[in-house]
């Protein structure tokens, strides 16, 4: 059974690309905003890897992760951004709030390798 990976992004094309590039190895679950992402996490306790866009309406990626950690404290969180690393993202990395960030356009080989790495740590 393929492990579940959540991707939260307000741009539909980004969700489609994420799923198309990673669905051979992982069961990709998508959410089109932070609120939906929190709902998905609440209903799927086995999601351990979560990717979030940084800039979304209503709730940015860091705020989403702050809420998501209450639902899924064992989750491994990643930010995706089309912009340079902000102080807020760097602080989240420094405080081990997120594992790392990925710059858009995304390098799906790097993302796949990171998912496999972190899942390997969980399963050992």
First CA to last CA across the chain, in angstroms?
Answer: 17
Does residue 26 contact residue 5 with C-beta atoms inside 8 Å? yes
> In the prediction, which pLDDT does 119 show?
93
* Residue 43, pLDDT above cutoff 70: yes
Does residue 114 contact residue 122 with C-beta atoms inside 8 Å? no
Q: Under CATH, which architecture does the 4-122 domain have?
A: 3-Layer(aba) Sandwich (3.40)
What are 45-73's pLDDT values in tens digits? 999 999 999 999 999 999 999 999 999 99
Give the C-alpha separation, 49 to 46, whole Å. 9
Does residue 56 contact residue 83 with C-beta atoms inside 8 Å? no
Ranges of each domain in the chain: 4-122
Query: With a threshold of 0.85, does the pTM exceed it?
Result: yes
CA angle 76, 37, 95 (to 5 degrees): 35
* Residue 124, pLDDT above cutoff 60: no
Q: Which two tokens stand for residue 70?
A: 């209450």
> In the prediction, which pLDDT does 91 show?
94
> In the prediction, which pLDDT does 123 show?
64
Q: Which two tokens stand for residue 26?
A: 């992982």
């Amino acid at each position: 059974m393929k492990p579940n990976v959540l991707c939260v992004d307000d741009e539909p094309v980004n969700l489609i690309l994420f799923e198309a590039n990673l669905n051979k190895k992982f069961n990709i679950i998508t959410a089109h905003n932070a609120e939906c992402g929190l709902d998905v996490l609440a209903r799927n306790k086995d999601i351990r890897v979560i990717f979030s866009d940084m800039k979304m309406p209503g709730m940015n990626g860091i705020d989403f992760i702050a809420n998501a950690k209450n639902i899924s404290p064992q989750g491994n969180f990643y930010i995706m951004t089309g912009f340079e690393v902000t102080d807020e993202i760097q602080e989240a990395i420094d405080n081990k709030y997120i594992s790392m960030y990925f710059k858009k356009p995304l390098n799906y080989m790097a993302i796949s390798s990171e998912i496999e790495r972190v899942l390997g740590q969980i399963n050992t």
